[in-house]
Structure 1
Amino acid sequence: MADIFSLFTSLRYDPGLLEVPSKGIDYAGWNAANKSPFYMLDYHRDRMLRAATHWKWDEAINVLSGQKGLDTLTKLAGEFIGPSQETALRFKILVSRDGLVSFEKNNVAPVPTENLFPLRLPQPGAPSTSGEAKKTPCWTVAPDDLQTTASEYTHFKTTKREMYDSARERLAIAPTDEREVLLVNKHDGSVMEGSLFTPYFWRDGRWVTPPVHLSTGSGGQDGVSRRWALERGVAVEQAVPADSLTDGEECWISNGVRGFIAAVVRLQQ
């Protein structure tokens, strides 16, 4: 019997995003062109469509494809949230093999606009300047002490998340902790990604994030905030060996719910 799982993506719903078009943040992408409370919704649709295409889920492909698919997703998401939601939410979209779309929502903390759409990430040891992501709060990240085999389930975002859940359990990370675990590729010992966030490290005078191609990269997920950062030159792709991490080094993490967050590496003793 085939594994039963769904595709999903988690994004930020935030009424504050409705102001982005009027703030002149031209590089914001979807949120600059659309007066929408959904953070990078087009990229979230794209990632689910890529996954549906990979597994040849025809019904899901049909639901998600084209402008019609994006418009339908926008409409369904708005109807689920309702007109009276005034605070930010973590908003989860799930798509089944037969194209059924469902949603979940939870409260989430406020985030400054600069950390959702940074022009740059400040260098290690430097304060944030205008347009750069703010360095507070600051999380900690640590590499997992076991390595993970890359697979289609590490590269595409699905409800089969045992490898991520196990890594978090090994570090005893609770849902409310400001901590993240870095998965390490079993094949070459490189950093794959975080359990919930894309990591960025300062290497050779620039911010880099692991390449995620399933056969030639780390096998991690092509996250929406990662795509946004790469397309705008905020970071570039470069393999990051886990043994190159140093205790206390400054880094960044990002995802489609919390945007970009400053972090520091803490090696496990």
Structure 2
Amino acid sequence: MVSDFQIFTSLRYDPSLLQVHSNPAFTHANWNYNHASPFYMLDYHRDRMLRAALHWKWESAIESLSGEAGLQLLAESITANLPRKDEPARVRVDVSEDGKLIAVASTILSVPLARLFPTILDPPALDLSSGTVFEVVVDATDNVNPSEFTHYKTSKRQVYDQARKQAGITSPAIAREVLIVDSRDGSVMEGSISTPYFFREGRWVTPLVNKETNKDWHGGQDGTTRRWALERGLALEEVVPVETLVNGEDCWISNGVRGFIFGKVKLSP
């Protein structure tokens, strides 16, 4: 039986990213296996989709995504569907069980490169006018159990869509994110479209995510920017009980389209 869902990822296309490969300020970026590219962490996006294909044993998808050829096919599929090549774009790439890649792109705003490749995660100083501050709220539905469909990013996103609707996030223009909570132990799993980071005991932490070999699922998705932050020591993995969140506390959220964004927790009264 053919699967009734697709693996997907959302990433940023941005011509300014071609500067990263040769800019000494971003030597920490380790850009796309050292290839100059206008795609934000393209290799990490490919890797996460390939891990999902391996999990479900989608042989054709594995073949499409593997090796340098898979990375090149991904880049070509996106490039062929860009509305404009001189402007940044949000790109969603779906991969089906038969290995077919479908890319859909839409224009988005520019952001500073330092927001895509930070060297540290620190709250802004006194002036917050230089960037959007997201309101970070907690999912009120409290009915999510971790599974393969929360660990891997697929088109089965009902729990995320429901949480966003409950939080009043009806448009990407709304500067709000909602935290998904594990109904079993009350820990933060992830954001609905982002990885969250919280300041605990002098360092930044992000919710613990189990490895693919552990079928006792814990946490949410092992996102691209999350992987990047962990590999560079910007944050550590740690279980984050929702009861430890404090109204008004500073946090960060990140994803493969917008990079790293400052936020503040807002708890219901």
Q: Give TM-score, length-normalised by structure 1.
A: 0.92
Distance 2:17 2:91 in 1: 14
**Are 2:141 and 1:141 equivalent residues in the alignment?**
no
Q: Bigger shift: 230-239 or 103-112?
A: 103-112
Q: Aligned residue for 2:91?
A: 91
Distance 1:201 1:136 in 2: 19
**Are 2:195 and 1:198 equivalent residues in the alignment?**
yes
Residue 216 of structure 1 deviates from its aligned partner by 5.8
Q: Percent identity?
A: 50
Q: Aligned residue for 1:60?
A: 61
Cα shift readout 1:85-119 (whole Å, capped 9, x = no counterpart): 21111011110011010111112222111110000
Q: Aligned residue for 2:45?
A: 44
Q: Aligned residue for 1:226?
A: 226
Q: Is the 8 A contact 2:194 2:253 kept in 1?
A: yes
Partner of 1:234: helix, strand, or coil? coil
Residue 2 of structure 1 deviates from its aligned partner by 6.5
Cα shift readout 1:175-219 (whole Å, capped 9, x = no counterpart): 220000000001110000000010000001000000111656633
Superposed counterparts of 1:105-116, under 5 Å: 105-116=105-116
Q: Aligned residue for 1:180?
A: 177
The 1:127/1:50 distance shift into structure 2, 3 A limit, reads: farther
Q: Is the 8 A contact 1:26 1:32 kept in 2?
A: no
Q: Aligned residue for 1:165?
A: 161
Distance 2:18 2:195 in 1: 25
Gaps in structure 2 of 5+ consecutive residues: none
Residue identity matched to 1:154:
T
Q: Is the 8 A contact 2:148 2:217 kept in 1?
A: no
Partner of 1:81: helix, strand, or coil? coil
Q: Give TM-score, length-normalised by structure 2.
A: 0.92
Residue identity matched to 1:61:
I
Runs of 4+ with >3 A deviation: 125-128, 214-218
What's the Cα RMSD here? 2.0
Q: Is the 8 A contact 1:21 1:32 kept in 2?
A: no
Gaps in structure 1 of 5+ consecutive residues: 129-133
Q: Bigger shift: 206-215 or 72-81?
A: 72-81
Residue 79 of structure 1 deviates from its aligned partner by 2.6
Q: Is the 8 A contact 1:190 1:241 kept in 2?
A: yes
Partner of 1:106: helix, strand, or coil? strand
Q: Bigger shift: 152-161 or 30-39?
A: 30-39
Q: Aligned residue for 1:260?
A: 260
Question: What is the total number of aligned residue pairs between the two structures?
Answer: 263
Residue 126 of structure 1 deviates from its aligned partner by 4.4
